[in-house]
Amino acid sequence: MDSGSLASMLPFLAMILVLYFFMIRPQMQRQKKEKAFQAEIKKGAKVITASGIHGKIVEINATDNTITLETGAGKIKFERSAISMELSKKYLAPAKK
C-alpha cells in the first residue's frame, strides 16, 4: 500500500469510528441496562410496559418468563421483556438542570 491509498481510506475509517461511538455503543449500553432492569424487577413494583400500559406486578413466573400485571382493566399477563421501566424511577428521578 502506498501513502495515497491509505490517505483515501482515512475518511472512511473515521466515519466508521464516529458511527460506532455515536450510534452503536450507546445502543449497546442501553440494551445492557434494560436487560439488567428486567432481571431485577420484583413483585409489587409499579411498571410501564413497552406498549404504554401502567400496572403493578402481582406475579412473576420464572418458568415461562412472564409476569402478571394488575391494571385498571384487570390482570394481564406479559412477557418479562415487555416491561419498559419502573414507574417510580421515572417520576421520582431528580430534575435535570
pLDDT of residue 42: 87
CATH number of the domain that residue 89 is part of: 2.30.30.140
- The residue with cell 421483556 is 81
Note the pLDDT tens digit of each residue in 59-90.
999 889 899 999 988 999 999 888 887 766 55
Whether 49 and 80 share a structural domain:
yes
Whether 71 and 49 share a structural domain:
yes
Q: CA 74 → CA 20, 57, 62, distances in Å?
A: 44, 12, 21
- Give start and end residues of each alpha helix (H) in 2-62: 3-19, 25-40
Note the pLDDT tens digit of each residue in 42-54.
898 888 888 889 9
Whether 70 and 60 share a structural domain:
yes
pTM of the model: 0.60
Whether 19 and 8 share a structural domain:
yes
- Structure-model confidence comparison of residues 6 and 74, the more confident one: 74
Mean pLDDT, rounded, for 13-39: 88
Separation CA 59–CA 43 (nearest Å): 6
pLDDT of residue 17: 92
Could you give the number of structural domains in the chain? 2
Whether 65 and 49 share a structural domain:
yes
Whether 47 and 33 share a structural domain:
no
User: Long-range contacts for 16-23 (Cβ within 8 Å, ≥24 apart)?
Assistant: none
